[in-house]
Structure 1
């Protein structure tokens, strides 16, 4: 075998790996601003054909649809069929939750198609003093029973990720994990502020593993299909679909103000909240907490987690078409500031943590900043400067941002900001 033949073989292999999105990421992630590559950020107000968008009507009629289509077909994956709620059931309810402050509801949403059945449960706490409550809606990671010590909350039998530190083993939830994530969900503070809280265990909609044989995906398979097509929904898109079905339910629940539902998410579920809010304009506001790569952070910065890394570690989250941009961000004709812009003119909050470098706090901030021109088309205030605000000093405009002390988590500080901002944007205009 000649040297020339070996070189040609390796070159062909490299090309094939690039095409099919299988190149192994660089060994060490970049955490140095000096090593961020130079890149051209696409202008959200210029169409793919080069037309400048100057009016909000042009954004709505021309630019927004083409961006939404691109993200749908090349990043998160489109939902290939309609699956309406077959039935809903209130499986538990009490008007005396939280020492009489709140009504607690546990509602099953049931879906049926052909020989498939899926159920997921919405846990709701609604303030008794409100006739129709504005609501924070968000997924939780380890079951509804983990967000509080309330012994009335049902324990899901869905598959879950193991976490021995939280008392979760054998991919099953038990009484041992009740209340283990109460630190992330200040239920009483939310109720005392006049808001309701609704949460869903995300693995009931689609188990968080690289297996498309369960969850909601098989409902849309054609004969012989075993996984989504290259432009069809990954798990993030499936989870976003679930949030919209919860919204369907809220629209007929007389205890919920469906015009004031704020979709919230942390980490991978922050990515989900952004995508849900971009697609479904019924959500009145969107909160992204430490959502990072594929969420609020700019992909072209290649800082912390990158497209190649996230697709390698979690190949089921995004559609297969997204793998074309593994270590190839330069070819990506969009970036995450345009995902945020798709939410305009509705309020959006992007939050970072100082020590969460994997999620690229500066990339999250810059995405909010570069989404601002779209909001300005609608007369809304965004991020006024490319200079990041000091730690723990939030910007509470229609496009909001804060970076707080600490790590990758959801804290009381975060929730205090979200409540104050929601008051300003939705309740006290």
Structure 2
């Protein structure tokens, strides 16, 4: 029983570690995908068809509330006092190619600290566009740069550098901004919501979120918006041209951040799977009941009621992507990542199309995913990369190419 549980945990977190097998009831057979009918994003809760005006006026808000109530939980609206302190800067980082900034953001009366790491290309002649994303293992792991402050993790310096492709991003003219996920809300499989940012929002006597209040994905998404708040104060960055990006569970957070915060100019999901880009109703690869025991804290408690009942969800992930419209959206998958259901990720992006079309934005038209390594770039981008669960140089090449028409100066 212990071995089965550990296998479930490893698959649930999108581990690249080789394991003997997924949970026994995992479906990787397309012929066993149940028939399903997706909720119509353009039929409101009163049963009425909506056009562009109705989508903007009320339907978008309905969809957002359904995701809050049944999937991610509601993010607190309370504003915390915040103070920013630039603790380190170097205008000659990366052999002169970039300016490195390290900012401590202090939230609340008993200050809670988040460390923001920024790299800004020195070739820029004015405020630059950029990418914002959370990292898994500490700011110091995104590059071997010895001056990056290391806090709260013993992971090796530069150990995640391949996932960030910092020089490639800088040379392309974009800034990169990141925060360590565990500084926001620890992802430790025993999360009791006492050692992250949740307690800053508790009412008197409260010790955990209510059933419809945010879990860890909501907290991570909240932090991405707080980074954007800071960027609005930094004259070297154009905060109106920022893409939010995430891989795996942090891809789920990036999608939820982009859905809630329309200030993000672009949203990118890399291998985010169940609870991220993949359609729940396909019941392929990872499913809700696989996640609830080891990582149920990612979601609101209400999400538990949909175990083995995906068809009862009032939403599906095409509607999450529709909340990004009309802004550009990119979804990426990997051929060896069946756990994340690449076909389900593509279909969710495709079925977001009708909302994009309300805004006269081209969407995905072909009924099936493209062949591997043949990206599609419309307002909704998609590629299926050959290889394993991960974010690679190839993925970043597509994101940079896709971003140029949207994030470049008008």
- The alignment's TM-score, normalised by the length of structure 2, stands at 0.92
1:201 matched to 2:194? The reply is no
Contact 2:242/2:407 (<8 A) preserved = no
**Structure 1 match to 2:100:** 104
1:120 matched to 2:131? The reply is no
Q: Aligned match of 1:297 in 278, 300, 318?
A: 278
Query: Residues 282-321 of structure 1 correspond to what in structure 2 (within 5 A)?
Result: 282-321=263-302
Distance 2:161 2:336 in 1: 22
Distance 2:156 2:167 in 1: 20
Secondary structure, counterpart of 2:86 in structure 1: strand
Q: Which string of whole-angstrom CA distances, capped at 9 and with x for unpartnered residues, describes residues 18-43 of structure 1?
A: xxxxxxx9732000000101111111
Q: Which string of whole-angstrom CA distances, capped at 9 and with x for unpartnered residues, describes residues 69-90 of structure 1?
A: 1111221011234133420001
Distance 1:373 1:342 in 2: 12
Gaps of 5+ in 1: 1-24, 158-172
Q: Which string of whole-angstrom CA distances, capped at 9 and with x for unpartnered residues, describes residues 355-404 of structure 1?
A: 00000000000000000110011010110111211100001111110001
Contact 1:398/1:425 (<8 A) preserved = no
Distance 1:426 1:126 in 2: 15
- The alignment's TM-score, normalised by the length of structure 1, stands at 0.88
**Structure 2 match to 1:261:** 242
1:386 matched to 2:367? The reply is yes
Contact 1:287/1:348 (<8 A) preserved = yes
Secondary structure, counterpart of 1:392 in structure 2: coil
Q: Which has the larger radius of gyration?
A: 1
Q: Aligned match of 1:182 in 130, 152, 161?
A: 161
Contact 2:70/2:313 (<8 A) preserved = no
**Structure 2 match to 1:71:** 67
1:238 matched to 2:219? The reply is yes
**Structure 2 match to 1:129:** 123
Contact 1:361/1:403 (<8 A) preserved = yes
Query: Residues 310-349 of structure 1 correspond to what in structure 2 (within 5 A)?
Result: 310-349=291-330
| Number of residue pairs aligned between Structure 1 and Structure 2 | 386
**Structure 1 match to 2:9:** none
Query: How far is the alpha carbon of 1:415 from its aligned partner?
Result: 0.1
Contact 1:84/1:245 (<8 A) preserved = no
Query: How far is the alpha carbon of 1:48 from its aligned partner?
Result: 2.0
Secondary structure, counterpart of 2:298 in structure 1: coil
Secondary structure, counterpart of 2:108 in structure 1: strand
Q: Which string of whole-angstrom CA distances, capped at 9 and with x for unpartnered residues, describes residues 242-264 of structure 1?
A: 01111110011001011100000
Q: Which string of whole-angstrom CA distances, capped at 9 and with x for unpartnered residues, describes residues 318-359 of structure 1?
A: 000111111111111210000000000000000000000000
Gaps of 5+ in 2: 1-21
Query: How far is the alpha carbon of 1:211 from its aligned partner?
Result: 1.7
**Structure 1 match to 2:260:** 279
Secondary structure, counterpart of 1:263 in structure 2: strand
Query: How far is the alpha carbon of 1:428 from its aligned partner?
Result: 7.2
Deviates more, 1:146-155 or 1:383-392: 383-392
Distance 1:428 1:247 in 2: 18
1:52 matched to 2:31? The reply is no
1:140 matched to 2:119? The reply is no
**Structure 2 match to 1:154:** 149
Q: How much is the aligned-residue C-alpha RMSD, in angstroms? A: 1.3
Contact 1:205/1:239 (<8 A) preserved = yes
Query: How far is the alpha carbon of 1:313 from its aligned partner?
Result: 2.0
